[in-house]
Amino acid sequence: MKIGVDYYPEHWNEERWRVDAKLMREANISIVRLAEFVWSKLEPEEERYQFDWLDKALDALHSEGIQAILGTPTAAPPAWLHERYPDILPADTHKYRLGFGTRLQRCLGNPIMHRYSRRITEAMAHHFAHHPAVIGWQTDNEFEANLCYCDSCAERFREWLKAKYGTLEELNHAWGTIFWSQEYSGWSQIPLPWHVRCGESHNPSLKLEYRRFASETTVNFQHEQVEIIRKTCPHHFITHNFMGLHDSMDYYELGRDLDFISWDNYPGGSWMQADNSIDMTHAVMRGIKQSNFWVMEEQTHIIGWERISRRPADGQSRMWAWQAVAHGADTVLFFRWRSCLYGTEQYWHGVLNHDGIPRRRYKEIQKFGEEMKKISSLLDGSVVRNEVAILNSYEQNWAFQLQPQTDGLDWWSQIRRYYNALRSLGVTCDITPLSANISSYKLLILPGWYLLTREDAERIDAFVTNGGVVVISPRTGVKNHINVCHEHPLPGFLGEIAGVEVDDYDPIGKAEYTVIVDGKELTAFTWADALTPKGAETIAIWKHSQFSGESAVTRNRRGKGLAWYFGTFGDDAFYCALLPKALADARISHGIHYPSGVDFSWRVKDDERYLFLMNHNAEDLTVSLPMSMDSVLGPNPVDNRVTLRGYDVGVYRG
């Protein structure tokens, strides 16, 4: 396990490079990422490559025993490329070309962009293939779906549809284009979901297929770079820095080509993690390849562009870094090494401030590095392993984005409710795709599986009949994979598995209904399904609603397993009344209830388990341990209890 930083030697005089490298080593930093935003310096003119300066920077790092990850610089195409080929600029929903002056100003489907991406990647891979400091590559930077609306993308989209559907007759039938007289008699008539008379209210099938196409375009762009690097640098790893809960594209598809995934973690950025769900985001990222990951950018201090965040408390950055390790990170790189003097990110503070003098932030990172060095041999090879999984799908997410239907039904809110409830019960879980090895779990949580195929239902049925327990949520089985409504009763292909039929529903949004569970009244909101049991037993009934007296939650035995149907969403009390029953069915014991603001996770290695405790509160808190355990890091237990200071961390072996 290693710690590192993101470094931009091009921002500083060459004389400073060896000073930086020495300071990095003294802070226990052993790896850097660099070059992902410097295309204009690597190729100042077309096919005139200038790598000597980067050689010198790498040599300076290598002299201090520091390894390097090189980023392909295609996230920031140079001005000369835009001037010569303005068609590589992307277009918005009004077909307006977005201009040069920031980053990511490129259409990833444009053939010219592809050509120049291949060229710079090939040149870099050949030149740095055998540099002793280079151990791996990061493709581009923070990929998004290629949501470009230029005419070139429209043509490629039509070709993509033609390959998928074969004939216009098939497409018209599948999408139901008879609605609003939208039947196509020529492929050229098919639009992108441009801004139109009724805003963006295009055919839902068109919109979903475009989202798939836009995501696939980005995946294909990365694939070309991966192929080049694999061929030229077979001894180097390849990764990419994902963006947590960003959901414009299918992260599972983007991750297939990579050796492991990385992600950029900014807990103090209110625009990214306003609800402090960093632990859940780590679980989402771990689930991309169902394995450990890296944090390629870990928040160091104050962050922001035009507006900036609050200053993290002393010790908070160290705690965030340990939290990443607790949830599956094998390496953490802090962003950035030194605050930049110019450009958009002047106030995105680094380990060193603008003056380059080591101060308290440097010492905090140095302390984390010392701790990592001390216990990394214990943690090397350890993994996060859980018995519960919440299923995740980017296509389901897009479908809810395209038709939100009511307040609170968005995808991450659905997942977050289950995740937070499980955590409050002391239960850890994975967040993983249905395509994963779900047989390794005892309990599956299925958020609203809006687009339900027969194949999906068969996988879930096999899981249940073989002894698993599944919890099914409202809005499951509404549509097919093309975003067209099914004709059969909800929850569609899962109806027989759940032993229930949705007779009616009410999109209640922010309003509140009441359900009765074990004689207690509990609050429900967002959605209400009136359920007709078809073999299932009723666990909760509606009260103070349009469906008073009808079933709200059911439980059905299927083969060796059980299927629960939650016909609504609720607060913590709702889930804490129901999920323990499902956990008991799955023979999963509850963990300890930790105080609010204390995050916990387990890493497992052979027969040893390591419990991580992170106190996100400013005040000290006393926490119980689940068994007799030894301290690996942090305060020693007394009578199986430890007191963590504000923003402190403890690691315990048992």
8-state DSSP, 429: -
395: exposed, middle or buried (Cβ count in 10 Å: 0-12, 13-18, 19+): middle
Tokens of 431: 């967040």
Tokens of 496: 């027989």
Q: Which residues form the catalytic set? A: 142, 297
Could you tell me which of 646, 626, 648, 647 has the C-alpha nearest to residue 637?
Answer: 626
Residue 293 and residue 329 in contact, taking contact as beta carbons nearer than 8 Å: yes
To 10 degrees, what angle do helices 204-232 and 111-128 make? 30
C-alpha 86 chain-centroid distance: 32
Distance CA 264, CA 275 (A): 17
Closest to 450 measured CA to CA, from 388, 348, 527, 383: 527
DSSP 293: E
Residue 491: cis peptide before it, omega within 30 degrees of 0: yes
Rg (alpha carbons) of the chain, rounded to whole number = 26
Angle at 240 between CA 603 and CA 10, to 5 degrees: 120
d(CA 316, CA 568): 37
Distance (Å, rounded) from C-alpha 332 to C-alpha 296? Answer: 6
Instruction: Give me the helices (H) in 327-410, please.
Output: 360-379, 394-402
Which residue, among 199, 182, 198, has the nearest Cα to 190 in the 3D structure?
Answer: 182
119 Rama class: left (phi>0) / alpha (psi -120 to 50) / beta: alpha
The partner residues of 633 in beta bridges, in order of sequence, read 651
How far is 123 from 117, CA to CA, in rounded Å?
A: 10
Residues facing 444 on adjacent strands? 389, 470
Residues present in the chain in total: 654
